[in-house]
Structure 1
Amino acid sequence: MSARVHITPLHRITVTETAAWHRVVAASTALDLPGVPAPSAGHVHAQLTKPALGSQRLTWLATAEDGTGVGVAALRLFTQPGQDHLAELELHVHPEHRRRGTGSQLLSAVVAACRTEDRRSLVVAAGADGPGEAFAERWGFEAVLTLDHLVMALDKDEDLARIRQMADAEHPGYRLTGWSGVVPDELAGPFAAAKNAMNDMPMGDVDYGRVDWDADRVREMGRVVTGRGDTLLTLAAVHADGTMAGYTEIVLPGGAPQRAQQYDTAVAPAHRGHGLGLWLKAAMAERLRAEHPGVTEVETDNAEDNVHMLAVNRSLGYRSYRRTREFQLDLATP
């Protein structure tokens, strides 16, 4: 059954629009992703109003005849060379207003914008085997990547003893260094070189392109995360010759979060096979316990075919609790 809704592009996000957006996302998340903490109103406002790294954002709000917000869509348009063919979608419809055509109207506006912006690929994530997956398939999206989401508890004694042992393991020729927020200037170049190691990460069939990191871009990444009110923690393994051999990143959402989010972990090809990824992630867990005792768990995700990192995470005590799939729409075909 279709219903009359009004689709409004948002430009200067108001307090009222932020509240409507948060209401829709919180209700959608609670139903579709049980166990996943809904974003706070402050986090939603920051997401909608603060700059994103290497991209710009378009947003739409769907309202019912009485003015109530019933659906939202955010389109991230990547702007850096190597990814300027790509767009990424987040779409939510309030559970009380589904199966009335709201999602389809929002997606029609998104696809039209993608074509105007000359994008060839539109990607979106949805909970595996859920309503979002069925919606994507109806619109002709192709499943291109399955992600396994895992959580590690930081308050279980049987896991902590093992993690501490891994963090204290000897790695001759390497030392750990860490920072919060923006990378220190003297490490920006080596960090950018290590970041480029992520370009060989398994990504299924996603038309993701390539990200080329330099010192300016890694500094900007730190400023973007900090600017939206989150805390970015980084640990790096530095070789005796000064090369940054690997790193791991954790983000603490603004406020007093119990769950931290794992961002990138990577080891440069020349330094693989020495257990650096496991060492870095174990040491980060120890850092979280020491500096942020209110954080009791960490969530990460892995492509199902990234066998090495899945093994690392499971040895740390991560446990699977849900799956998502990445879907891709080919916009090059009329």
Structure 2
Amino acid sequence: MVAAGDGRTTIQSEAYLPPGGSGGAEAFATAMGYGVASREAIKELTLTDYVARREALAAEADAADGYRIITFDTVCPEEHLDSFGRLLGMLMSEVPLGELDLETSEWPAERIRAAEQRLVAIGRHVHTAMAIAPDGEVAGVSDVRVDDTDQTYGQVGITIVDPAHRGHRLGLALKLATHDLAIRTYPDLVSLDTSNAEVNTHMNAVNEALGYRTIETLLELQKSL
């Protein structure tokens, strides 16, 4: 349940369908008064497929020249913490999410550090790549997440590029950096999964170039009270 900024309250739920298909879950949701706020493609990448494509993709990422890509495991370097929080605060407003009624949130340093501590405590590694602009600001970020309890399988977390820095293939450069880091760190890693709203055409194109294939469709359901 989400309280919108205009005083409305919405209820959100999810349903899963075969790729490109429909099913009883969607019909049931409609009968219960839910609308489909967003359709997301759940995608999987076999890392052997990624390795086969990687060199050709690296040439495309050369447009990111002038930006420095750094990587870290879960804990953001202190010098980039405030700028990272500023970018995280853009996530809900800048990533295409269809008609989902989600509000932006603030990410001060203490909130980021608390979240990092929780992840470290449960053994979840957030292998993160950051694009640092010439002025030192964080221009983009992407991550891959792997748990200590299962190092054969991982997930892509967030990927976002500041609108002021788009057009430099930073999304692709960041994805290459995180996927390369995951392969180096986990020799037994077999596959990664991710999800993107169907309206997020740019990131869908990047993921398809990397070798991701759709295995399921997620319906983000929503109704107002």
Structure 1 and Structure 2 fold alike (TM over 0.5): yes
2:26 to 133, 140, 148: 133
Structure 1 residue matching 2:103: 3-state secondary structure: coil
Contact 1:197 1:267 in 2 (8 A): no
Partner of 1:237: 131
Q: TM-score, normalised by structure 1?
A: 0.60
Partner of 1:85: 3
Within the alignment, does 1:226 sit opposite 2:120 as a pair?
A: yes
Within the alignment, does 1:207 sit opposite 2:101 as a pair?
A: yes
1:174 to 67, 74, 77: 67
Contact 2:131 2:174 in 1 (8 A): yes
Structure 2 residue matching 1:205: 3-state secondary structure: coil
In structure 2, C-alpha distance between the alignment counterparts of 1:311 and 1:187, rounded to whole Å: 29
Within the alignment, does 1:323 sit opposite 2:187 as a pair?
A: no
Contact 1:162 1:316 in 2 (8 A): no
Within the alignment, does 1:122 sit opposite 2:11 as a pair?
A: yes
In structure 2, C-alpha distance between the alignment counterparts of 1:178 and 1:283, rounded to whole Å: 8
Q: Cα deviations across residues 131-183 of structure 1 (Å, max 9, x unaligned)?
A: 4434433322211100011112212352244355556x363321111111222
Residues 166, 295 of structure 1: alpha-carbon distance in 2 compared, 3 angstrom cutoff: farther
Q: Cα deviations across residues 272-309 of structure 1 (Å, max 9, x unaligned)?
A: 00000000101111111111122121111111011111
Partner letter of residue 9 of structure 2?
R
Partner of 2:202: 308
Partner letter of residue 184 of structure 2?
A
Within the alignment, does 1:269 sit opposite 2:163 as a pair?
A: yes
Structure 2 residue matching 1:290: 3-state secondary structure: helix
Residues 228, 328 of structure 1: alpha-carbon distance in 2 compared, 3 angstrom cutoff: farther
Q: TM-score, normalised by structure 2?
A: 0.86
Partner of 2:41: 148
Partner of 2:192: 298
Within the alignment, does 1:246 sit opposite 2:144 as a pair?
A: no
Partner of 1:186: 79
Contact 2:44 2:194 in 1 (8 A): yes
Contact 2:42 2:218 in 1 (8 A): yes
1:159 to 34, 53, 57: 53
Task: Point out the more displaced range, 217-226 or 307-316.
Answer: 217-226
Contact 2:127 2:182 in 1 (8 A): no
Q: Cα deviations across residues 74-105 of structure 1 (Å, max 9, x unaligned)?
A: xxx6xxxxxx617xxxxxxxxxxxxxxxxxxx
Residues 223, 138 of structure 1: alpha-carbon distance in 2 compared, 3 angstrom cutoff: farther
In structure 2, C-alpha distance between the alignment counterparts of 1:135 and 1:255, rounded to whole Å: 36
Structure 2: gaps spanning 5 or more residues: none
Residues 159, 146 of structure 1: alpha-carbon distance in 2 compared, 3 angstrom cutoff: same
2:180 to 260, 280, 286: 286
Paired residue total = 217
Name the Cα RMSD after superposition.
2.2
Task: Point out the more displaced range, 308-317 or 209-218.
Answer: 209-218
Partner letter of residue 293 of structure 1?
P
In structure 2, C-alpha distance between the alignment counterparts of 1:132 and 1:163, rounded to whole Å: 38
Contact 2:43 2:216 in 1 (8 A): yes
Structure 2 residue matching 1:283: 3-state secondary structure: helix
In structure 1, C-alpha distance between the alignment counterparts of 2:159 and 2:214, rounded to whole Å: 18
1:258, CA displacement in angstroms? 2.1
Structure 2 residue matching 1:147: 3-state secondary structure: strand
Q: Cα deviations across residues 234-270 of structure 1 (Å, max 9, x unaligned)?
A: 1101112111110101111341232211111011111
Q: Cα deviations across residues 29-61 of structure 1 (Å, max 9, x unaligned)?
A: xxxxxxxxxxxxxxxxxxxxxxxxxxxxxxxxx
Greater relative contact order (CA < 8 Å, ≥ 6 in sequence): 2
In structure 1, C-alpha distance between the alignment counterparts of 2:29 and 2:118, rounded to whole Å: 30
**Which structure has the larger Rg?**
1
